[in-house]
Structure 1
Amino acid sequence: MATNAEIAGRFEEFADLLEADDVEYKPRAYRRAAENIRAHPVPIADRVEAGDEEVLEEIDGVGDAISSKIVEYVDTGEIEELEELRAELPIDIADITRIEGVGPKTAGTLYRELGVRTLDDLEAVAEAGEIQEISGFGPKTEENIRDNIEFAREVGQRQLLGEARPLADDVLEFLEGVEAVERCEVAGSIRRWRETIGDVDVLVATEVGEDVIEAFVGWDSVDSEIESGPEKASVRVGEIRVDLRVVVPAEFGSALQYFTGSKDHNVRLRNYAIARDMKLNEYGAFDVSAVDDPDSGQRVGERVAGETEEGMYSSLGLPWIPPELRTDRGEIAAAENGDLPDLITREDVRGDLHSHTEWSDGNTSIEAMVEAAAEMGYEYYGVADHAEGPGIVGGMGLSDTEIIEQIEAIREVAAASDIAVFAGIEANVTADGEISLSAEVLEALDVVVASPHSALDQDAETATERLVRAVENPAIDVLGHPSGRLLNERSGLDFDATALGAAAAEHDTALEINANPRRLDLWGSAVQAALENGAPISINTDAHQPSTLEYMRWGVHTARRGWAEPADVINTWELEELREFLH
């Protein structure tokens, strides 16, 4: 059964191909619909297949024309109009537009002028020097394409966490309802909450593996079976591969530890065990102190743990290490010394300081966003629409006059709300680290988020200087999505997170973890480097509609990957403490 992300992907492809064909207006409508489809809280295809097409009326931006295409896709697996467009423009549009600076219009031009359909085609014409000969292109464009082709190839093989994890949750819910399943959990990079994953790994404890395998490959959501056997099976759900492995209950904990990884963490842990006459593997923890040749078999020695993951660590005298920390960045030494962090949880978050409304590129009103924040139990909430500046999508940023008008509108909503509402703005960080807001606007605002949106091809030294200059600006409260990256689309700025963290700590500027699953920026290692230098962190959703306030889930787990505790994150603080920080 098609997932919301898969349906959204069809309309994003529609938009890209239409734009490549120089069609105006329609691409934006399809992109808005795609964003709302992706964020919709219930599985759209399930409801449509059950005959409940009214679900489509709940989705902003989905009118009759788009609704009919969704129904067509659910019913047939295709959209005829999209297939016709693909035939007219046979371009691997998603792959080609992953190259920074190559948008749909550029892809269309490259196809018409040079016949470029694939990344291989693009690489060939770039190496031959043919791109710079096209009117409006040049040597720098061609060099940029050459430099970014490998990145585009690599990211095309991985799925976003925000798309794969909801599917993983559905898999677990299904398996928990299978009678033969005693325990089940995801493993691999998805359990470590890595921002992109190769596939969904699931582990099941059972005494009747064949029954579980049979139920799994027969699940209604499975589109195709890749392979199956007595101990494991692989299927495809939409565009995502799901791998299932079954083990006996006594080995569930050891298998879960082993298959969660990461490889570097497991190697370090195994070496830690060897130094203590222990042997760790997917079958358990074994005391091999009395064994002459510990490598003579997988199950040699006295088995002392394996049923639970906690037991695997405690057999070495260590506390359980949260999956997000298992990246070999000092977590085993911290566990040995009793210094593991008390990681932030979703329940610690009291508010969200960066979101958008229909005043700029959001999809709904200030009132609707504030109401949704209140329903989530937040104590405070910040509106931060775009100020005008380079890199702002569709030129939809607000002028100084419009910002002042919006502040007044926010104050009116705040007066009627049960939660505190901050009037904010998301300003653009220019190539040299400045922002362009008048003194009058800065004085009127409660919170200033400043983010890089353009000039994202700077070298690491220049990018670091740019971001450090921004956090040194006393008007800026939060540096938003510091790299400007878009996962699987562009790499964004490369910078020294240690230097940025030190500057942010010195100047009391929070560094944002942008929780949008297409960004997750900052990321785990950068958060850890910033925190080691005392920088405050802010986790924000960058939500453009009420449903995307739920992106906070991804931001919290990214913070956990960076060893963040509640006190490190400003939007876990009491309201008055936060007000003091912002002022």
Structure 2
Amino acid sequence: MSRNAEVADRLDEMADRLEALGVEYKPRAYRQAADNIRGHTVAIETLAERGRDAVEEIDRVGEAIAAKVVEYVETGEIAELEELRDDLPVDIGALMRVEGVGPKTVADLYEALGVRDLDDLEAAAEAGEIREVKGFGPKTEENILDNIEFARESHERALLGEAQPLAERVLDHLRDHGAVTAADTAGSLRRWRPTVGDVDVLVASDAGEAVVEHFTEFDAEVIEAGTSKASLRADGMRVDLRVVVEAEWGAALQYFTGSRDHNIVLRNRAIERDLKVNEYGVFDVSGVEDPDAGQRVGERVAGGTEASMYEALDLPLIPPELREDRGEVAAADAGDLPDLVALGDLRGDLHTHTDASDGDESVAGMLAGAAEFGHDYLAVTDHATGPGMVGGVGVSDDELLAVAEEVRAADSEVRAFTGVEANIAADGSVSVADDVLAELDCVVASPHAALDGDGTDRLVAAAEHPAVNVLGHPTGRLLNRRAGLDIDIDAVAAAAAANDTALEINANPHRLDLRGGYVKAAVDAGATIAVNTDAHRPAAFDYLRFGVHTARRGWAEAADVLNARDADGVADFLGL
């Protein structure tokens, strides 16, 4: 398993500890480096073995941080981090999971009360000691005590598939209020990242207090409520509301959608044009003596719409999914933004299961469900035998052929493709006999066991198999549960492109595999993408939207996506 997340966590901890000790500038540099290492497509230990220069090739990883990365990979420690831990001997990660507790709060409570961990924090709050610390009070102490249990339970970020439905319910509730003129999500949720820390919602209204009051009537625990901001906890997630005036709606939507790095690029672009961009709009500060004197200094030239914010910077509107500072601003400036695939472009699903394996519905039921969903075609790809497959056994080769006959005989409104989801063994072999594969229309091959270590050769071998049409959930990851295989996505994508094998985005929100960065690498290599739901019941066809937005995060256009083709186009790809 790649150590990217492990290394990134150490850098994030360094940032938190430096901030707690009052160090300026460095914390941000460490956090940016951590973010880019966490999402990098090459295992950090592989780069570290090549030396510091190889690590420095990662965006925003400079010489000093690269040296620390190599030190950690080689020794298991970063000497400076150990010193910081000695200076502030606390479980800073656990303490900061408590609502309202940041790095400086951790330092203050340690210095005043010797608080080192959640147990110490809880004891201090129960004893009424926190309210006596300068800068704190009874309300802060109460909030800390109320949130300690939640902090103990919430070690993981929420899945997109959990956060998005909650956000939609909240937005429906807000839009019921007559004073709300616009409402949308913001933050990482609007960028459709696979996991989110909380749910951010934004509202345009001139009646902030009334909207906040209406928001707090949502069926949830109220954390705090002010005149234009409020926070709830629902379904185990924090929901943060911000209300802005209509004239600043576009500015706020752009700013709070982020990402931070994307906004920094825009801010620098604005400076080059004697403009200032922030959550209130774009302002002309040419001739202004001190542009930093306030948030609304200068003449506002944009802010009512999100498109106007980009237009003021001589850019087209950049879709939220692309706003990760991965070259999207330069592409927009050059007129090279992709025409991203949309949900309406998809015509079918090429990875689904029935009750012949571990699905909940019959062949006829799945085909009927696909027709009701609006699909033109469906591939039925029940699990075959192999390690990690359903029940440890799966469907035998003879049974697969029997299911195929049932699919062919089905009276269906959609075109039905026969198929299988075969297992890719650790050596790259496929768990179904070649003569059986030859009888099937669509062969999805996926890794299901031995999901650690480098899986590059394994996937390349499967991509080169003449009967394999799609590599399913290629890394085998399960969000918040396992990282899955390390892969050299460039090598896998090259093999897929050369052999007309599609790479799947598994739209199940527990997977979203391939991830967005890998999708972009695949698209750049000329590989074909398949956005499939891995549906085990008709209701799971709704997962398709999560896969489409993941494809958009990877800069995919409709032409890149196999199941954006019509049934005849898919049949041509499958060699039928």
Give the TM-score normalised by structure 2.
0.72
Q: Indicate the percent of aligned positions where both proteins have the same amino acid.
A: 60
Cross-structure match for 1:164: 163
CA distance in 2, matches of 1:314, 1:295: 22
* Contact 1:156–1:488 (CA under 8 A) maintained in structure 2: no
Deviates more, 1:390-399 or 1:348-357: 390-399
State the secondary structure of the residue aligned to 2:449.
coil
Of 369, 374, 385, 2:371 maps to 374
Which of 529, 538, 558 is the matching residue for 2:530? 538
Distance in 1, Cα, partners of 2:216 & 2:568: 54
1:259-298 mapped onto 2 (5 Å cutoff): 259-298=256-295
Task: Give the distance between the partners of 2:474 and 2:287, measured in 1 at CA.
Answer: 54
Aligned residue for 2:179? 180
The one-letter amino acid of 1:199's match is: D
Matches within 5 A, 1:365-404: 365-404=362-401
User: Which amino acid counterpart does residue 339 of structure 1 have in structure 2?
Assistant: D
Tell me how far 1:418 sits from its aligned partner. 2.3
User: Where does 1:394-543 land on structure 2 (aligned, <5 Å)?
Assistant: 394-413=391-410, 416-459=411-454, 463-543=455-535
Distance 1:258 1:435 in 2: 48
Does 1:331 find its partner at 2:328?
yes
1:141 alignment partner in structure 2:
none
- Contact 1:378–1:419 (CA under 8 A) maintained in structure 2: yes
Within 2, Cα distance between the matches of 1:471 and 1:160? Answer: 29
Q: How far does the alpha carbon of each residue in 1:434-491 deviate from its partner, in whole angstroms, 9 at most, with x for none?
A: 10222321121001000000111113xxx11111111111111000000100111111
Whole-angstrom CA distance in 1 between matches of 2:440 and 2:196: 39
Residues 360 and 396 of structure 1 are in contact (CA less than 8 Å); yes or no, is this contact kept in structure 2? Answer: no
Residues 254, 306 of structure 2: 8 Å contact kept: yes
1:299 aligns with 2:296: yes
1:546 deviates by 0.8
Tell me, yes or no, if structure 1 residue 352 matches structure 2 residue 349. Answer: yes
After superposition, where does 1:212-231 map in structure 2 within 5 Å?
A: 212-219=211-218, 221-222=219-220, 224-231=221-228
Q: Contact 1:286/1:300 (CA < 8 Å) preserved in 2?
A: yes
- What code does the residue aligned with 1:373 have? A
Specify the code of the residue in structure 2 equivalent to 1:582: L
- Cα shift at 1:154: 12
Aligned to 1:308: 305
**In structure 1, what is the Cα distance between the partners aligned to 2:297 and 2:418?**
64
* Unpaired stretches in structure 2, ≥5 consecutive residues: 1-93, 95-117, 120-151
Measured against aligned partners, the alpha-carbon deviations of 1:551-578 in whole angstroms (never above 9, x if no partner) come to 1111111111111111100101122221
Contact 2:368 2:413 in 1 (8 A): no
Mapping for residues 202-241 of structure 1, pairs under 5 Å:
202-219=201-218, 221-222=219-220, 224-241=221-238
SS in 2 for 1:236: strand
Q: Does the alignment pair 1:253 with 2:250? A: yes
Whole-Å separation in 2 of the counterparts to 1:154 and 1:329: 34
Query: Aligned equivalents of 2:427 and 2:351: distance in 1?
Result: 23
TM superposition shift of 1:396: 4.3
- The structural deviation recorded for 1:155 is 8.7
The alpha-carbon deviation at position 240 of structure 1 amounts to 1.4
Deviation at residue 259 of structure 1 after TM alignment:
0.4
CA contact (8 A) 2:180 2:211 kept: yes
Maintained 8 Å contact 2:322/2:553: yes
CA distance in 2, matches of 1:536, 1:271: 36
Deviations 1:139-188 (A, max 9, x none): xxxxxxxxxxxxxx999331111111011111111111111212111101
Q: What one-letter code is carried by the residue in structure 2 that aligns with 1:508?
A: D
- Are the equivalent residues in 1 in contact too, given 2:434–2:467 (CA < 8 A)? no
1:114-133 superposed matches below 5 A: none
Q: Name the aligned partner's letter for residue 452 of structure 1.
A: P
Q: Which residue of 2 aligns with 1:103?
A: none
Decide whether the 8 Å contact of 2:420 with 2:442 is kept in 1. Answer: yes
Letter in 2 for 1:575: A
The Cα of 1:393 is off from its aligned counterpart by: 3.4
* TM-score computed with the length of structure 1 as normaliser: 0.72
Q: Where do residues 51-66 of structure 1 align in structure 2 (5 Å cutoff)?
A: none
Amino acid at match of 2:484: G
Amino acid at match of 1:554: F
Larger displacement relative to structure 2 (364-373 or 229-238): 229-238
* Residue 568 of structure 2: aligned partner: 576
What per-residue deviation string (whole Å, max 9, x for no partner) do you get for residues 490-547 of structure 1? 1101212122111111111000000000000001111001100100000000000110
Amino acid at match of 2:184: E
In structure 2, distance between residues paired with 1:517 and 1:552:
9
What are the superposed Cα offsets for residues 303-356 of structure 1, whole Å, 9 maximum, x if unpaired? 100111110000011000110110111110111111111111111101000000
SS of residue paired to 1:234:
strand
Distance 2:477 2:513 in 1: 7
SS at match of 2:546: helix
Work out whether residues 370 and 421 of structure 1, in 8 Å CA contact, stay in contact via their aligned partners in 2: yes
Q: Provide the rounded CA distance (Å) in 2 between the counterparts of 1:492 and 1:388.
A: 21
Q: 3-state SS of the aligned residue for 1:294?
A: coil
- The letter for the 1-side match of 2:515 is W
RMSD over aligned CA atoms reads: 1.7
Residue 292 of structure 1 and its aligned partner are, at CA, apart by 2.7
Deviates more, 1:283-292 or 1:549-558: 283-292
- Code of the aligned partner of 2:185: V
Q: 1:387 to 1:154 in 2, by over 3 A?
A: farther
Q: Report the AA paired with residue 362 of structure 1.
A: G
Letter in 2 for 1:193: W
Q: Which amino acid aligns with 2:319?
A: P
Aligned partners of 1:510 and 1:535 also within 8 Å: yes
After superposition, give the CA deviation of every residue in 1:93-144 in whole Å (9 maximum; x if it has no partner).
xx9xxxxxxxxxxxxxxxxxxxxxxx99xxxxxxxxxxxxxxxxxxxxxxxx
CA offset digits 1:61-108 (Å, max 9, x no partner): xxxxxxxxxxxxxxxxxxxxxxxxxxxxxxxxxx9xxxxxxxxxxxxx
* Structure 1 CA distance for aligned equivalents of residues 320 and 153 of structure 2: 24
Query: How far apart are the structure 2 equivalents of 1:197 and 1:572?
Result: 28
Q: Judge conservation of contact 1:155–1:488 (CA < 8 Å) in 2.
A: no
Matched residues in 1 for 2:503 and 2:291: separation? Answer: 48
Q: Distance in 1 between matches of 2:217 and 2:346?
A: 40
Structure 1 distance, partners of 2:439, 2:573, is: 16
Name stretches of at least 5 consecutive residues in structure 1 with no aligned partner: 1-94, 96-118, 121-152
The separation in 2 between residues aligned to 1:466 and 1:523, in whole angstroms, is 19
**How far did residue 238 of structure 1 move?**
2.2
